[in-house]
Amino acid sequence: MADLPKYQEDLTLDTFVRGLWKENPVFVMLLGMCPVLAVTNSAINAISMGLASTVVLVGSGALISLMRHWIPKQVRIASYIVIIATFVTMVDYAIQAISLDLYAALGAFIQLIVVNCIILGRAEAYASQQRLVPTLVNSLGVGAGFTIALFALGSVREILGSGTLFGIHLFGAGFQPWVVMVLPPGGFFVLGAWLLLFNWIKLRRERRIETPQGIPANAR
Amino acid sequence: MTNEVQVEAPPGATPTFAMLRTLGGISLISGLLVVLAYQLTLPIITENQRLRTERAVFQVVPGAVSKQDFVLTGQGLEPVGAGVQGEPVYAAYDKDGRLKGIAIAGVGGGYGGPVKVLFNYEPACQCIVGSKVLQSTETPGFGDKLETDPEFLENLKALDARLNADGTALANPIVTVKHGTKTQPWQIDAITGATISSKAMGKAANAAAQRAVPAIQRDLAKLAAANRRGTE
């Protein structure tokens, strides 16, 4: 029914690794900013959110990939949203079963995974065209990239904003927490700092490739 | 994905049946998965909620080892059972089965949203002797002082909640006053810099006490006897 897949990707290491670095959903594509800024006030919240999103990403990707020949183009978005919402609801119940405190801390952002554009984006751009195994591997890669990015924000914000990591105190009693870091502005500060770092690394690498051998960049 | 220019084919007519079949099929799978997840997790979630309430009640009423749940109905306090609906009230008992305190919940509007607090009401002194914030979205570093500021917690160690002569409402509504101006035992001294959160605490205490205390005092014998009946 649907158009035949235009291009089938072979399973390579890149299928997984791409999501971690080159196509990192947060630091490169700037997708899913709502949970990135909202629930990264502690490391455990960040990791839980990342894992929950990964489960939804993998589950919905698998189902969409399996059904890709039976989903007509006209109803594909409706189909994807129903499939994604199903997995989000299941994750929602699972988190309540694991810990009610965690559930309270993540609040509405678990349900909001439904509208996370990373997941719908993967469904549309990848799962709907690729075979099951590459889809699983790619979704895991993107999920891991998302989780790592959330942890990068969550750990820095928790260390600076509360003086703890995973609830363990890192500094003596003399440490005055930077409360702003666990407040919404802190999310923007830390995200900005990480983006600065990643762009700097990327630019430096590009410049090194452009520079002809033997001539330093500043002598051109 | 590819750089080749794709010539857009004229849209082929998708049979209506195919669209209906796909959406119907997906909805069916979705329904099955959601119901399965719900059924599997329901007992665990119910147990988690029970444990959380129990933990909160034992924390707010120090020395309690067992509790009985009641609900506030139009006719007074009734033991939890089928068909009884209303605000929950938790009677907590010490190891000898004596009524140790009664945990009542109240909600007040804070700076970041509702602040839900569990209070320990002691019938003997007719006062609130402890509190625990169950749920709050107050600003970290300010609003969370409701649980940590020792000076503020002093307010909630003997907060007057006496009833008026008819026993229908508090003789003096519990109010939060500006920092340093507390003169009466039914007033709460606000935390400097967290006045709105402190006021939420006062509103929660007042709401909880106004609603539950008249019924508790009327049905005190029922509460005190409930545990003995339960253990015999």
CA distance B225 to chain A (A): 33
**Predicted pLDDT of residue A82:** 94
B64-75 per-position pLDDT tens digit? 788 888 888 777
**Nearest Cβ partner of B14 from A7, A72, A96?**
A72
- Of A84-98, A114-128, B19-33, B176-190, minimum mean pLDDT range: B176-190
Dump pLDDT digits (tens) for A3-33.
Answer: 444 567 777 888 888 888 888 888 888 888 8
The Cβ of residue A136 has, within 10 Å, a number of other Cβ atoms equal to: 21
If we measure between CA atoms, which residue out of A117, A119, A114 comes closest to residue A138?
A119
What average pLDDT does the segment B149-174 reach? 80
Characterize the bridge pairing of strands B127-135 and A168-169. Answer: unpaired
Q: Which residues of A touch B113 (CB under 8 A)?
A: none
* Integer CA distances (angstroms), B88 to A18, A123, A135, B92, B143, in order: 53, 45, 49, 13, 26
Residue A214, min C-alpha distance to chain B (Å): 35
The confidence score (pLDDT) of residue A149 equals 92
Residue A74: which pLDDT band, with cuts at 50, 70 and 90? confident
Question: Are B22 and A67 within 8 A, CB to CB?
Answer: yes
**Per residue in A119-169, pLDDT tens?**
998 898 888 888 888 999 999 999 999 999 999 999 999 988 888 888 888
In the predicted structure, residue B230 carries a pLDDT above the cut 50: no
| CB pair distance less than 8 Å for B34 and A83 | no
User: What are the structure tokens assigned to A212, written together?
Assistant: 């002809």
Question: What's the CA gap between A135 and A128, in Å, rounded?
Answer: 9
Alpha-carbon separation of residue B65 from B54, B131, B231 (angstroms): 10, 17, 13
Residue A191: both structure tokens together: 């995200």
Q: Which segments of chain A are extended strands (E)?
A: 164-165, 168-169
CA distance A88 to A34: 16
In degrees and rounded to multiples of 5, residue B217 shows phi and psi of -65, -35
CB neighbourhood size of A133 (10 A): 12
Which band of pLDDT confidence, cut at 50, 70 and 90, is reported for residue B3?
low
